[in-house]
Amino acid sequence: MVEFKTISYEAVTVGEEFMSDDFLIKPEDVETFAFAVDDHDPWYFEDSPLEGTIAHPVLMGNQALFMRHGKYIVPAGLHAKMQYEFVEPIRVGMRVRTRGKLIDKYEKRGRHYMVTEFATRDEETGTVLVRGQFTQMLFPKSGVHEDARKR
């Protein structure tokens, strides 16, 4: 059983590993994503030069971002940076899982950040589909940093 702790700069440890649940990519997931980002490229619905339809390369971004929710209560946070490398196409019918590791945490101008590297794989074949790293800002207990609200 997982014992969830509220996430904080003090609670997370460099080297700590994360893992998402596995996720079966269904046709409606691609359709919903296409609506969300208004990208209805026929490669995702009809055919592509890559032996059939594929999915948006960034489809599983949230699976990576939400890995920490498998261990922590995350009241809120802001996403600061994202790096993606697209290795192989994602397709409907794949069962995918993302694994990651906290590779750095730091304080900058009074704010706390955590940096996580990740790889999303096809669970059946072990093929890496997407890898990268992301930086997330951890909110203080009081709420949001004042200047983070400015537009």
Least separation in angstroms between residue 142's CB and other proteins is 10
DSSP class of 30: H
Residue 16 or 88: the one with the smaller Cβ distance to other proteins is 88
Residue 40 or 95: the one with the smaller Cβ distance to other proteins is 40
Tell me the backbone φ, ψ of residue 85, rounded to 5 degrees. -130, 120
Residue ranges that bind other proteins, judged by CB under 8 A: 32-33, 35-39, 41, 43, 48-50, 54, 56-58, 61-62, 65, 75-76, 78-89, 143-144, 146, 148-151
Please, which residues bridge with residue 30 across strands?
none
The span from the first CA to the last CA of the chain, in angstroms, equals 41
Least separation in angstroms between residue 104's CB and other proteins is 16
Residue 109 or 149: the one with the smaller Cβ distance to other proteins is 149
Residue 13 or 37: the one with the smaller Cβ distance to other proteins is 37
136 close to 78: Cβ distance less than 8 angstroms:
yes
Least separation in angstroms between residue 44's CB and other proteins is 9
- Cα 147 → chain centroid: 25
Least separation in angstroms between residue 148's CB and other proteins is 7
Kindly give, in sequence order, each residue whose CB lies less than 8 Å from that of residue 68, ignoring residues fewer than 6 positions away.
Answer: 7, 12, 18, 74, 116, 136
